[in-house]
Copies of this chain bind each other. A is one copy, B any other.
Amino acid sequence: MALIHRNTSGVYIIAATPFTETGAVDVAGIDSLVDFYAARGVTGMTVLGIMGEADKLTAEERRAVLDRFLARAGAMPVIVGISDSGMANLADFGKYAMDRGAAGVMVAPNRGVPREDRVIGYFAEVCRALGPDVPVVYQDYPQTTGVPVSVRTILEIADANPQIVMLKHEDSPGLAKITAIRAAEAKGGRERLSILVGNGGLHLPQELQRGVDGAMTGFAYPEALVDVVRLHQSGAVDRAEDVFDAYLPILRHEQQPGIGLALRKMILHRRGAIPCPAVRAPGPLLSPTDLAELERLMARTAARVASL
């Protein structure tokens, strides 16, 4: 399979992990979900990220989930979240993923003293453990990891480790970080980083206008991300933002912390992507009020998109 690199662009959808009502991994659901994503035109998938509930899976389950995603993905590139408290287990799973045909791996800085020099040391250790041929995505998501980093730290890590080819950008506030990275690259002397944005895509048009290469997030309307990125890249900047704005009300709703994943999986379920909307326990349950509210927003979205 082709590997991700410093010019990778497009939409890498953060894939949900489907479970049955009893909380078992739903392997058949994986096939259905991959087909749903593929039919909506995504460039690739990122599996076993935070929103893929990787931390609720055993190592065996993670391998089984990955295998099934890869089998169904065919030629579509798959990035694999391998963040782990232990370095050996991180590296083992990273090698497993690459051996099976992954396009790259994604790592967030581990918890611990949140000093930036420690993060630099951590990523050096990660790259050493993986070996130099494994392309790595740095996930910059301090709201969840508790580890904020400066732009210069990101640049230093990417300069020191050529295999860190991509930034999953989801710091907040974050727009100025994108501009600062692109400005630093424009001065010359370093290779550009591919930047895909997360955070549900909440600021996607602005982020594209500031120079990112696409999105890596799990919004349950992947076609929206695909259309916005494609239109923007083709020069239809205003039209891209018009399309985005039509989806923004439900995107903002899905982006709520805590309950967002349950909403996302319910939308995916209602749209036929997964047989069962269950989040693995412990996780939020949607109340009848939540459900009615979500249906109302889905209907409004459909009407608005139809009028585009």
Contact = CB atoms under 8 A, between A and B. Distances in A.
A187 interface: no
A93 B59 CA distance: 14
A300 B113 contact: no
Contacts of A151: 117
Contacts of A114: 114, 148
A60 B61 CA distance: 12
Contacts of A173: 113, 256-260
A131 interface: no
Contact count band on A: 35 or more
Nearest to A118: B150
Interface string A175-199: 1100100000000000000000000
A56 interface: yes
Interface of A: 23, 53, 55-60, 84-89, 110, 112-118, 122, 125, 129, 148-153, 172-173, 175-176, 179, 202-203, 206, 209-210, 241, 245, 248-249, 252-253, 256-260, 280-282, 287, 289-290, 293, 300, 304
Given A55-B86, A86-B282, A113-B258, 18 more contacts: A55-B85, A56-B85, A56-B87, A56-B89, A57-B86, A58-B59, A59-B59, A112-B282, A115-B148, A115-B149, A125-B281, A175-B256, A175-B293, A176-B287, A176-B290, A202-B252, A245-B249, A248-B248
